[in-house]
């Protein structure tokens, strides 16, 4: 390529160069404002999500998916969200779901999804019955969500503290 002749040899195989040369997949980098519940508003930059539902019934829940699926060949994927407002009841969930999961539910309530919920600290896996997992979370908390495709397990963190393997 033009201009590469000016790069010193010791920089030609940097970790970033090797990554760009061998990685053939795209990783999620933001939320997708076109793939979310009608009860959610995603800011144009894809990093801030506002809830605008009533929160009265389960149907008032909502999911927003990332801008692209997480490829399983990545091996391990982790992201964090900051809870800027828990709302009136703190009905929040962080998790993973496949493309066919309904957008008007919390993660984990539907088949092919799982999530950790802030109002009760329970984990939910493909149904509406939760099981104890971790502490509740609320405004000001940072929740991390990781998945290990090799071990077929997930984990969560709260404010940097690992809460342990999920499934």
Rounded to whole angstroms, how far apart are CA atoms 147 and 167? 10
Looking at residue 23, its pLDDT comes to 79
Q: In the chain, what are the domains? A: 25-165 (2.60.120.920)
pLDDT band at 54 (very low <50, low <70, confident <90, very high): confident
Looking at residue 3, its pLDDT comes to 54
Looking at residue 149, its pLDDT comes to 94
pLDDT tens by residue, 109-163: 999 999 999 999 999 999 999 999 999 999 999 999 999 999 999 999 999 999 9
Query: pTM of the prediction?
Result: 0.83
């Amino acid at each position: 390529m033009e201009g590469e002749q000016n790069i010193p040899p010791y920089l030609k195989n940097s970790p970033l160069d090797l990554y760009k040369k061998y990685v053939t997949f795209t990783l999620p980098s933001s939320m997708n404002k076109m793939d979310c519940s009608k009860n959610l508003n995603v800011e144009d930059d894809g990093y801030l999500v506002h809830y605008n539902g009533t929160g009265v019934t389960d149907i008032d829940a909502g999911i927003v998916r990332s801008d692209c699926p997480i490829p399983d060949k990545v091996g391990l994927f982790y992201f964090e969200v900051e809870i800027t407002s828990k709302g009136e009841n703190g009905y929040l969930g962080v998790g993973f779901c496949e493309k066919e999961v309904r957008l008007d539910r919390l993660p984990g309530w539907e088949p092919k999804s799982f999530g950790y919920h802030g109002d009760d600290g329970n984990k939910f896996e493909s149904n509406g019955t939760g099981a104890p997992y971790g502490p509740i979370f609320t405004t000001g908390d940072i929740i991390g969500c990781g998945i290990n495709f090799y071990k077929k397990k997930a984990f969560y963190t709260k404010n940097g503290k690992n809460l342990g393997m999920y499934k």
